[in-house]
Structure 1
Amino acid sequence: MNSISPNLNIMIKACEKASKSLIRDFGEIENLQVSKKGPSDFVTNADKKVEKILIEELLKAKKNYCIISEETGFTKNTDEENIWIIDPIDGTSNLFHGIPHFSICIALKSHGVIKSGLVFDPIKDEMFFSEKNNGSYLNNKRIRVSKKKDLNECLFASNGKKFRNVELAKRNTGSAALDLAYVASGRFDGFFQENLNIWDIAPGILLIQEAGGVVNKADIKKINDIEVITSNPSINEKMVKILDKF
């Protein structure tokens, strides 16, 4: 693989540091399932803890960059052209129920373009990352979208309620960020959902584009209420046609 940029290196290091507390917290979830208090407060605290570590690490390296984060919203700094986009835990419902399928997400938006993105699954130790014009990778191995051409053989992800009548084989995994990473790596063939937030999708859409996929809709100028339709190029036209019916 080509060498990674200093900014992506900062993102990876921040992610790895934050993941240590998240892995520890996940180990505690099973014990909390039987307690009277329950795990919801615990998960909220885990979310905030991960976010705090990420923000501290990112600002330590680039103190002037702005930040958009799920928990704290928009933090304005002097460099408004560079924005860290953070989702400390994508898939909190899975974490809450002790399901090992959630991720830490960071993207860098620079001059209106997503330049770097990563989605890290700390439990499976899978780091998906990409940089504009430099390809997409899973743990340093190059990844590409699937090559399937027959819709009947394809598997799609959709965590939203929209398109529920669509006759496509689909999964609801509870983590949009990992769904997009799985499309980039060819595990899923496509993804469609609406009402997403920028921190859910920013790293994933770059991963897919750099892995050779097509992203039809994903307005990165918006913060909330974003619709995403994406797939491998071979099935894209057919997929969009089916979704447009509904």
Structure 2
Amino acid sequence: MRLSPVMTVMQNAAQKAARRLLRDFNEVEQLQVSIKGPGDFVSQADLRAEATIREELARARPGYAFLMEESGASGSENWSWRWVVDPLDGTTNFLHGIPHWAISIGLQKRLPDGSAELAAAVVYNPAGNEMFWAEKGAGAYLNERRLRVSARRELIDALFSTGIPFAAIPAERRLPFARILGSLMPQVSGIRRFGSAALDLCWTAAGRYDGFWEIGLKPWDCAAGILVVREAGGYVTDPHNAESQAMEADCNIVAGNTYMHPKLREIVLAGMGGAIQASATPPT
């Protein structure tokens, strides 16, 4: 397929970072690992990948701002375009030798009213050589195949994914998760926790999952995946049905197809006790 210039830049950056990550993944026991917090690791591989992606994107598009997992925000506060990057989503999987992790690159565009929209997205799983990508208004793809969300209508037939809280997650978020899980489990075909929110969203876009939810994601975890789901015909909002593309704060995500999204959203909202505040205006 003929890629747009910006998509070519994004995929090239992801693939260049992936080559070194794959080498490190094959020697994972030799990596130097420091601990950011319980269950939340950062490796030298993570840092090198971020540096590679930053260098590639900055060279191709000088002047664009950045929001990156390890180095944070940089560039002009009045940016017109901004990259939102997670160089290694699924770090814990990576460090345990589990081949389910991804490079996530989203691109935001500032609109005339001061708001922002997601304009382009790449989520690359090097271990499986799966390149998920999308541009606003142009559809979503896996490598060269067009993606569509699933068509399942009933919860009993549906498979969902989520992120299970771990040691670093505060207790006030663990209990609502347990309520959501307890409510959803008896109604569905299954629930999976594979350890990469970016890939969970892309697998929802591909119809492998019928929906996904997680509370308290960081912008770099989900920016690219959100656009991939929407361009595949799905819906992504917070539990109050508010749609945000600002990527300025933690994200509360419910994703799914036309039929599953409202059902899952209601269960998540009930499990949270209605306490989550809407983060943006409702989608049109």
Question: TM-score with structure 1 length normalisation?
Answer: 0.92
Identity %: 37
Q: Deviations over 1:101-136 (max 9, x none)?
A: 000010110111100001000000000000000000
Q: Which of 143, 151, 155 is matched with 1:151 structurally?
A: 155
The equivalent of 1:35 in structure 2 is none
The equivalent of 1:232 in structure 2 is 257
The equivalent of 1:87 in structure 2 is 86
Shift of 1:225: 2.0
What is the one-letter code of the residue matched to 2:156? N
Shift of 1:154: 0.7
What is the one-letter code of the residue matched to 1:228? I
Q: Which of 174, 181, 184 is matched with 1:164 structurally?
A: 181
The equivalent of 2:138 in structure 1 is 134
| Residue segments in structure 2 that go unaligned for 5+ positions in a row | 35-40, 111-115, 166-176, 272-284
Runs of 4+ in 1 over 4 A off after TM superposition: none
The equivalent of 1:59 in structure 2 is 58
Aligned length: 239
3-state secondary structure, aligned to 1:228: strand
Q: Deviations over 1:169-223 (max 9, x none)?
A: 3111110000000000000100011110111111111001100001122533243
3-state secondary structure, aligned to 2:73: strand
| Aligned pairs (5 A) from 1:120-131 | 120-131=124-135
Shift of 1:6: 1.0
Q: How far apart, CA to CA, are the structure 2 residues paired with 1:49 and 1:177?
A: 20
The equivalent of 1:207 in structure 2 is 228
3-state secondary structure, aligned to 1:21: helix
3-state secondary structure, aligned to 2:249: coil
3-state secondary structure, aligned to 1:181: helix
| Residue segments in structure 1 that go unaligned for 5+ positions in a row | 33-37
1:222–1:138 CA distance, 2 compared to 1 (3 A): closer
Q: For the aligned residues, what is the CA RMSD?
A: 1.8
